[in-house]
A and B are shown apart, each in its own frame.
Chain A
Amino acid sequence: MGVKLERIVKTYYDNLAAGKITARKCQDCGAVEWPPLLGCNTCGSTNMEWIEISGHGKMIQMVMPSPITQRPEMEDIRPYCLAVVEIEEGPVVNVMVRGVNRKNKNLVMEKMPGVPVHATIIPRDGYDTVIFDLDEVPEVPKKAK
């Protein structure tokens, strides 16, 4: 068993285009790398196999966008927050989470950490990427007039 020269990045994006979110699981220690990498950062092994991830995760930190973190190229995914998400398979990654807005952010914050989220594949300019959505978007009760 030795390292193989393979196109991991291209395979990941090709899989996204086919509707699958994939990762690499270490066959020696069981750790998962998502997004997928050549070797394992837990034990160093190159004995990695492709797996499909469930897409389920928990949001453990959220930050609302602001004047300099709200980028024009991200307009199409609003409303969103910047988040740290732990996916079911183990990795903890910085990702975009959709469904949080200025009105419902306090309701979401009350349930932190651990708000359930799920991965969604979205198109960008010439490739696809992964963001997350709240499993349940809290409804803000309408104020009586």
Chain B
Amino acid sequence: MKNNINQTTLHPYSRSVSIIGVGCTPFMYTMDNPETEGLTEGELFGYAAYKAMEDAGVTPKDVDFYFHGEASPFNGSNYITPNMQVSEWFGMRGKASIHHSEACCTGYLAIEQAVNAVASGKYNVVLTGCVEFGDAVADPNKPAHIRRKFDDNMFQESLKWIYDRAYTRAMMCGPNLHQDDVCAWYKDEYGLTDDQMDDTLIHMAINSRRSASKNPLALARKTYEELAKEHDFDDVMEYMKSFFNPKMTANLRASGLELKCDGAAAAIVCPTEMAHLFTNKKPIEVLGIGNATREANQAHVELLATREACRQVYELTGVKPEEIDLLMANDFFLSSQLCAAEESGYLPRGEGWKYFIEGRTAYDGDKPINTNGGRCSFGHAHAASGLADVYEAVMQMRGECGERQIKKVPKTSFIRGFGGAQNVAAIILRTKE
């Protein structure tokens, strides 16, 4: 098949940029808990922003500019310039900002935006944050603390907004094929049976949930082993294949689909050489970010856009896949773990599925992936998810992840962003010694 995707050559940043602070709220259903019911955009974004500033050792006075990301601000918040509406909640009144929106890839491109702004030389300290109400959406006629549930029908309806209206929606296939495309392609390419793919995805879910169970910020923290016991199953695999975990697409079970929810995350970046002015922690340098997009009418959207984004970032940085210690992959379809792992070279092509089954991708395995639990366990507050993954990578690289800490503290992390039918980012972070 013709690749049919244009390529881009990246050029080195004008100056090195590092992440010096990260912040993240719990990912949650705010309306379901009396303690969190009524939380608003300003409070979630503001909390994540202040946490990132505290972590970086900067104050709002030190921050020159901020980026605001939200996947669906009109739907979730009834705002169209949401950077303005939250700008006074974290002490930055009057400072310049911009909003960007790339659906589920927003939080990954949030790092891209901030790094570019600092690398250009225009700003020294930049805050980048994202917030999303994926469960408790705005009531346009009431104050911000009064919200309503974003039910599945409304969500499905809103998903249309990420697809082209000239042809893709009318042709009906792209928006419905993409959830199965990676599995179908992989099975065809490597001759896997349906059962082998099913086992792979089930183990992925079990591994990820085990990480989430040790992450206080994660949404779903009960392991599948515990859930199996509660439902009188001795064997967790039997439970995972039962009607408690039905097939929702041709390949993905309920355990392989995102848990959309509410949350926010933020990061502070600055020139690497200035990091010591603010913090004693080791800066996490952003070595490079590859970007590609592919519209849903085109074949193999995730696969080919990921391939191109990975190609760019490796070409720019000269990093070898075997140097990667941690992979974070936006996995609102769980199969994304497999696609991102093989396209980034983190796992060998055609063999990656076995690593999941053998538990090697768990936080305590030799090839850890999504140690925060990922979108199907940590949760998916759409825009905020990317920065939540950045938060996790940075915390792992500092050795601050507690129970789910990877034994050999990662020095190099690869983050594969994905979303919005579809944007892809391939980010390489490295601890600056």
Q: Which residues of A contact B (CB under 8 A)?
A: 9, 12, 35, 41-42, 60-69, 71, 74, 77, 82-84, 86, 90-96, 112-113, 124, 127, 129-131
Assess whether B172 is in contact with A131, with CB atoms less than 8 Å apart: yes
Assess whether B299 is in contact with A67, with CB atoms less than 8 Å apart: no
The SS class assigned to the A binding surface is: mixed
Q: B180: CB under 8 A from chain A?
A: yes
Q: B382: CB under 8 A from chain A?
A: no
Assess whether B185 is in contact with A61, with CB atoms less than 8 Å apart: yes
Chain B 142-184 per-residue mask, 1 if CB under 8 angstroms from chain A, else 0: 0000000000000010000000001100111110111111001
Q: B2: CB under 8 A from chain A?
A: yes
Roughly how many angstroms separate A98 CA and B6 CA in the complex, as a whole number?
Answer: 32
Assess whether B174 is in contact with A66, with CB atoms less than 8 Å apart: no
Chain A residue contacts of B184, Cβ below 8 A:
61-63
Assess whether A90 is in contact with B2, with CB atoms less than 8 Å apart: yes
Q: Which residues of B contact A (CB under 8 A)?
A: 1-2, 4, 6, 156, 166-167, 170-174, 176-181, 184-185, 188, 246-250, 296-300
Chain A residue contacts of B172, Cβ below 8 A:
71, 74, 77, 96, 129, 131
Which residue of chain A has the shortest Cβ distance to B296 in the bound complex?
Answer: A94
Assess whether A127 is in contact with B173, with CB atoms less than 8 Å apart: no
Assess whether B180 is in contact with A82, with CB atoms less than 8 Å apart: yes
Chain B proximity of A12: nearest CB distance (Å): 8
Given contacts A68-B248, A92-B4, A93-B298, contact A61 B188 (CB under 8 A): yes
Chain A proximity of B39: nearest CB distance (Å): 29
Roughly how many angstroms separate A61 CA and B166 CA in the complex, as a whole number?
Answer: 24
Roughly how many angstroms separate A113 CA and B300 CA in the complex, as a whole number?
Answer: 15
Given contacts A63-B184, A67-B246, A113-B188, contact A96 B173 (CB under 8 A): yes
Roughly how many angstroms separate A75 CA and B126 CA in the complex, as a whole number?
Answer: 50
Jot down 25 A-B pairs with beta carbons below 8 A, ordered by A.
A61-B184, A63-B177, A63-B184, A65-B176, A66-B247, A67-B247, A68-B248, A68-B249, A69-B249, A77-B172, A83-B177, A84-B177, A84-B181, A84-B299, A91-B4, A92-B1, A92-B299, A93-B299, A94-B173, A94-B178, A94-B297, A96-B173, A113-B188, A131-B171, A131-B172
Q: Indicate which residue in B6, B181, B246 contacts A63 across the interface (CB closer than 8 Å).
A: B181
Which residue of chain B has the shortest Cβ distance to A69 in the bound complex?
Answer: B176
Roughly how many angstroms separate A67 CA and B300 CA in the complex, as a whole number?
Answer: 21
Chain A residue contacts of B181, Cβ below 8 A:
61, 63, 84
Roughly how many angstroms separate A68 CA and B253 CA in the complex, as a whole number?
Answer: 11
Given contacts A9-B166, A71-B176, A82-B180, contact A94 B249 (CB under 8 A): no
Assess whether A92 is in contact with B171, with CB atoms less than 8 Å apart: no
